[in-house]
Amino acid sequence: MDTAAELSRTLGPLRRAVLRATRTAANLPDLPEAQIELLRTLIAEGPLNPRTVAARLRIAPSTVSNLVKTMSATGLIERETAPNDLRTVHLTASAKARDLLDRYDRTSTATLAHSIGLLSANERNTLEAALPILGRLTEQLEVRN
C-alpha cells in the first residue's frame, strides 16, 4: 500500500465528512474551512492585522481581504482602527463568532466521539496511537512550507 497516497485521498473526505456531520447535528451554518481557520487564528492570537493573518495562515493578503469583507458583513469579524495609526486595522473574532466556533467544536467532538465509539476496541486503540504521529506529520509539513 502507498501510505502517502492513501492518506492524501483520505484526509479531504474525512475533514468534509466531519464538517457535514457537525453542521447537520447542530443545525450550524455552512462556514467554509478558510473562515474557520481565520477565526481560530484570531481567537488564539488576539487582535491581528490582516498582513499578519495572511502570514500565519500562509495565504495571500487579497484572500484575507476577501474573507474579512465577507465575515465582517455577517458579523463574525470586527475591524478596529489602531488608535495610534489610522492606516492600521486590527481584526478580532466577534462574540457571535466565538459562540459559533464553540458550538462547532462541541458538536464536532461529540459527533466524532460517537463515530469512534462504533469502531472496534482494536481500531480505537490504533487510532489513538496514530494521533501523536499525525501531529508530528503536521509539524513536518509546516516546516517544509
pLDDT in tens, the chain (145 residues): 799 999 989 998 998 898 888 888 888 888 888 899 999 999 998 799 999 999 999 899 999 999 999 999 999 999 988 777 777 889 999 999 999 999 989 999 999 999 999 999 999 999 999 999 999 998 998 886 6
What is the total count of domains within the chain? 2
Cell triple for 120: 472496534
107 and 64 in a common domain: no
> Do 39 and 26 share a structural domain?
no
Q: Residue 40 belongs to what domain range?
A: 31-93
Domain boundary among 76, 93, 110: 93
* Statement to judge: residues 20 and 36 lie in one domain: no
Phi, psi of 114 (to 5 degrees): -65, -45
> What is the phi-psi region of residue 107: left when phi exceeds 0, alpha when psi lies from -120 to 50, beta otherwise?
alpha
Q: What are phi and psi of 92, to 5 degrees?
A: -135, 155
Catalogue the E-assigned strands of the chain: 77-82, 85-93
Q: What is the pLDDT of residue 145?
A: 60
Nine-digit cell string for 3: 501510505
Same domain, 104 and 134: yes
Instruction: Give Rg (Cα) of the chain.
Output: 18
Query: Which pLDDT tens digit goes with each residue over 91-131?
Result: 999 999 999 999 989 999 999 999 999 999 999 999 999 99
